[in-house]
Structure 1
Amino acid sequence: MNGRTHRAGPHVPGHRTTRNGAAPPGPSRRNFLLGAGALGGAAALGLGGCSGAASAFTGGTLDFWHLLTGPDGQILTRMLEDFQGEHGDVTVNETVLAWGRPYYTKLAMASAGGRAPDVAVMHIARLPGYAPGGMLDSWDLDLLEELGVGPDTFPETVWEKGFYGDELKAIPLDMHPFVLYYNTDVAEQAGVLGPDGLLEGVDTEEGFRDVALRMGEVTGGHGLSYGYLDDAANMWRMFDTWYTQMGGTINLPEGGPMEIDEDKAIRTLEWIRSLLDGEVASASNLGSSAIAEFGTQRAGMFMGGVWEIQSYRDQGVPFGMQMIPPIFGRPAAYCDSHSFVLPHQSSPDPDKRRMVHEMVASLLKSSVQWADAGHLPVYLPVLESEEYSQLDPQADYAEAAEHAVYDPPAYFTGSGADFSEYFGDHLLQVYTGAVPPERGLQNFIDRINELLAKPSPL
Structure 2
Amino acid sequence: MNSVPQPATGSLGRRGFLGIGAAAAATGLLTACSGGTKIGADQGGTDAGPSFEGGEYKGPKVTLEYWNGFTGGDGPHMKQMLAAFNKEYEGRITVRNTTRQWQDLYPAMPTAITAGKGPDVAVIHNDWVATFAARNTLVPLDDVVGALKLSESDFIPAVWQAGIYDGKRYSVPLDVHCLADYWNESHLARIGLKEAPADGAAFDRALTDLRKQKVAEPFWMPNKWPGHLMFMALLWQFGGELYSEDGARALWGSDAGVEALQWMVAQIDKGHSPAQVAQDAQYNAFKNNKVSFTWDGIWQINDLKTNARNLRWGMGPIPNIGGTPAVWSASHNFVLTSQGAKDKNKVTAAKFFIDYMSKQSTEWAKAGMIPARNSVRADAAVASLPQIALAENVDVFRFLPALPGVGDVQAKALELAVQQAVLKKSSPAKALKDGVATADKLLADNKKKYTR
TM-score range, shorter chain: 0.7 to 0.9
1:406 and 2:399 equivalent? Answer: yes
Report if the CA contact (8 A) 2:340-2:346 is conserved. Answer: no
Show the 5 A alignment for 1:34-433.
52-57=54-59, 59-89=61-91, 90-100=93-103, 102-112=104-114, 116-141=118-143, 143-193=144-194, 198-199=195-196, 201-203=197-199, 205-218=200-213, 220-228=215-223, 231=224, 233-251=225-243, 256-260=248-252, 262-277=254-269, 279-313=271-305, 314-316=307-309, 317-345=311-339, 347-391=341-385, 393-399=386-392, 401-414=394-407, 417=408, 419-433=410-424
| Distance 1:150-1:54 versus aligned 2 partners, 3 A rule | farther
Q: Which runs of 5+ in 2 are unaligned?
A: 1-52
Q: Distance in 1 between matches of 2:433 and 2:341?
A: 48
CA distance 1:266–1:153, shift in 2 (3 Å): same
The 3 A distance-change label for structure 1 pair 297 and 257 is: same
Calculate percent identity across the aligned residue pairs: 24
In structure 2, distance between residues paired with 1:345 and 1:59: 17
> How many angstroms apart in 2 are the aligned matches of 1:363 and 1:383?
16
Is the 8 Å Cα contact of residues 226 and 304 (structure 1) preserved in structure 2?
A: no
**How far, CA to CA, are the matches of 1:146 and 1:251 in structure 2?**
34
> Which amino acid in structure 2 is aligned with residue 357 of structure 1?
K
Moved more, 380-389 or 219-228: 219-228
Alignment of 1:442-457 (within 5 A): 442-454=433-445, 456-457=448-449
Identify the residue that residue 24 of structure 2 maps to in structure 1. Answer: none
CA contact (8 A) 2:67 2:99 kept: yes
Q: Which residue of 1 aligns with 2:34?
A: none
CA distance in structure 1 between the partners assigned to 2:250 and 2:183 by the alignment:
36
Runs (5+) with no aligned partner, structure 1: 1-50
Q: Distance in 2 between matches of 1:263 and 1:338?
A: 32
1:294: Cα distance to partner?
A: 0.3
TM-score in terms of structure 1 length = 0.79
Matches of 2:246 and 2:391, distance apart in 1: 34
Alpha-carbon spacing, 1:278–1:162, altered in 2? closer, same or farther (3 Å)? same
Query: What is the total number of aligned residue pairs between the two structures?
Result: 395
Measured after TM superposition, the shift of residue 184 of structure 1 is: 2.2
Q: Secondary structure at the match of 1:223?
A: coil
Q: Is the 8 A contact 1:115 1:344 kept in 2?
A: no
**Bigger Cα displacement from structure 2, 71-80 vs 106-115:** 106-115
Q: Secondary structure at the match of 1:236?
A: helix
Conserved? CA contact 2:162–2:401, under 8 Å: no
Q: Deviations over 1:307-346 (max 9, x none)?
A: 2222222221221211212232222120221111111137
111-120 vs 152-161, greater mean Cα deviation: 111-120
Counterpart code for 1:173: L
* Counterpart-to-counterpart distance in 1, 2:372 and 2:424: 39
